[in-house]
Amino acid sequence: MGLDAKILTVSESAAAGAREDRSGDELARVLVEHGFRIVDRRVVPDGMASVSAALLELSTGFAGLVVSTGGTGFSPTDLTPEATRVVIEREAPGLAEAMRSASPLGRLSRGVAGSVGRCLILNVPGSPKGAVESLEAVADVLDHALELLAGGRPH
């Protein structure tokens, strides 16, 4: 079964074209390695309105995974978790906790995970290394989580 994924990069500088979207590139590489097909990639600046609007658009009617990278730290402009909570219907704290426990710096991530309809949304850090470590920490359960969201039976 092919799984679809979308990547949202949250970055002022990448949105302005001032820097390359390395985190998005790394996430795409790892997702493909885990059998996902990347069906959309977007870059938006930090902020409640920009991130929540993009997540809503990416998740509406979508059965698959949306991974956002960036905006999960302590900077005043890091509002990705708050914007994600506006969009999701149910949080998945176990996924967020597993992603945070992937590395010592993960403890500084405020990222959340949750579902809206048949879509699973994950917030990962903006650094390429942090993004990949976080995704790898939960990659082994993503297909099962998406199967359950689609109405599959628990094992």
Give tens-digit pLDDT for 16-45.
889 999 999 999 999 999 999 999 999 999
| Residue in the structure block whose two tokens are 């795409």 | 28
Long-range contacts, stretch 100-106, CB < 8 angstroms, 24+ apart: 100/134, 101/137, 102/133, 102/134, 102/136, 102/137, 103/130, 103/133, 105/130, 106/130, 106/133, 106/134
Q: Is residue 100 predicted with pLDDT exceeding 60? A: yes
Where do the domains of the chain lie? 3-149
Q: Phi then psi for 58, rounded to 5 degrees?
A: -70, -30
Give tens-digit pLDDT for 141-151.
999 999 999 99
Give tens-digit pLDDT for 36-94.
999 999 999 999 999 999 999 999 999 999 999 999 999 999 999 999 999 999 999 99
Give residue 2's pLDDT: 73
Q: Across the chain, what does the average pLDDT equal? A: 95
pLDDT band at 155 (very low <50, low <70, confident <90, very high): low
Q: Is residue 1 predicted with pLDDT exceeding 60? A: no
Q: Phi then psi for 125, rounded to 5 degrees?
A: -60, 165
Count of Cβ atoms closer than 10 Å to residue 56 Cβ: 13
3-state secondary structure of 12: helix
Give tens-digit pLDDT for 119-135.
999 999 999 999 999 99
Give residue 45's pLDDT: 96
Task: Tell me which CATH code domain 3-149 carries.
Answer: 3.40.980.10
